[in-house]
Amino acid sequence: MIDPVIICVAITGSLPQKSDNPAVPITVTEQIESTQEAFEVGATIAHCHVREDDGAPTADPDRFAALQAGIERHCPGMIIQLSTGGRSGAGRDRGGMLPLRPDMASLSVGSNNFPTRVYENPPDLVDWLAAEMAIHNVTPEIECFDLSHIYQAAAMYADGRLPRVPYCQFVMGVKNAMPADRHAFEAMLKTKTHLLGDAPWCAAGIGRHQATLNEWAIAAGGHARTGLEDNVRLDRTTLAPSNAALVARTAEIAARYARPVATINQARAILGLRDSAVAAAVAAGSEVV
Ligand SMILES: [Zn+2]
């Protein structure tokens, strides 16, 4: 049975800086180059944040637009997922880029603690972000930092706030939130299956838990996220030289479990995404400019 793994690369995030790892792409130009390298070794989703020139997180729609255009140009057909996460903006600024109509956007549906603060996702903001995504035909990825977030996603699907079956990502290993604990992972997966059946899902592990969550998700039939946003190291003593190196590691784990890495077309089909005009043009053999 062909059961491809979608590899998502979270290229930048809002926290890591060059001082943590010089390979973290900060400028839009660096981000496009880093994404292209990751794309060439098998990443099919680019999860994107943008930064100011000094490295500070921002939700500036113009920066998102420049990054989106660059990825479309250099990584034809790659699935672009923009972050509406709370570190880069406040309130509705977090969704100011949704009119750019990326393929996907991240959506948190509940609050929880982060290492040094509360990650606030009040119900009215969650509903507004979900409504904006529906208006602009953006597919959400539900960031599940807690078991309750899976229940909330299912409730939003049941009452129509989420028009399509949610694609849930279990995020584990965030200090003060869900630990990278096998029992908790199995509880999250069982809950997803209980509420959403065989809907595709994915998982991300933070810091040293990245490869562990890749392995658990791949072994259990899910999809995998990697990248410098979540983890800047290959191991305790070695910095990851690039996003591509982390993608290659995830691809190796997939190979160990006899799961091929998803192509663009497979990833788009699994996620039920609209066809990329760029991907369609490539498939038809025409030049994309
Ligand atoms: Zn992110």
The CATH number for 65's domain is: 3.20.20.70
Cα 198 to averaged position of ligand 1 atoms, centre (Å): 25
Instruction: Give the domain extent around 89.
Output: 7-283
Residue 88, pLDDT > 70, answer: no
| Domain presence at residue 43 | yes
Q: Is the dihedral of CA 58, 64, 67, 71 positive or negative?
A: positive
288: in domain: no
Enter the pTM of the model: 0.95
Tell me the CA–centroid distance for residue 285 and ligand 1, in Å. Answer: 34
Q: What is the pLDDT of residue 144?
A: 98
> Quick check: 225 and 209 in contact, CB under 8 A?
no
Distance (angstroms) between ligand 1 centre and the Cα of 55 equals 15
Structure tokens at 105: 């956007």
For ligand 1, the distance from its centroid to the CA atom of residue 227, given in whole angstroms, is 10
The 10s digit of each residue's pLDDT in 78-87 is: 999 999 997 7
In a domain, 102, yes or no: yes
pLDDT at 286: 55
Instruction: Please provide the distance, in angstroms rounded to a whole number, between the alpha carbons at the two ends of the chain.
Output: 37
What is the helix (H) or strand (E) element at residue 253, kind and residue range?
helix 243-256
Instruction: Measure Cα distances from 245 to 3, 12, 44, 215 in Å.
Output: 23, 14, 15, 16
Q: How far is the CA of 60 from the centre of ligand 1 (A)?
A: 15
Nearest-angstrom CA–CA distance, 18 and 21? 5
- Residue 194 in domain: yes
* Residue 63 in tokens: 């920066």
Structurally, how many domains does the chain consist of?
Answer: 1
At 149, which helix (H) or strand (E)?
helix 147-158
The residue behind tokens 């949704």 is: 98
pLDDT at 240 over 50: yes
Model pLDDT for residues 207-223, shown as the tens digit of each residue? 999 999 999 999 999 99
157 assigned to some structural domain: yes
131 CB neighbour count, 10 Å cutoff: 13
| Average pLDDT score over residue span 30-57 | 97
pLDDT for the residue 86? 75
Residues, beta carbon < 5 Å, ion ligand 1: 83
Look at residue 213 and tell me if it is in a domain.
yes
Tell me how far the alpha carbon of residue 2 lies from the centroid of ligand 1, in angstroms: 29
Query: What was the pLDDT predicted at 289?
Result: 41
Expressed in angstroms and rounded, the spacing between residue 47 Cα and the centre of ligand 1 is 6
* Average pLDDT estimate for 66-72: 98
Distance 136 CA to ligand 1 centre (A): 20
Q: Is residue 1 part of a domain?
A: no
In a domain, 74, yes or no: yes
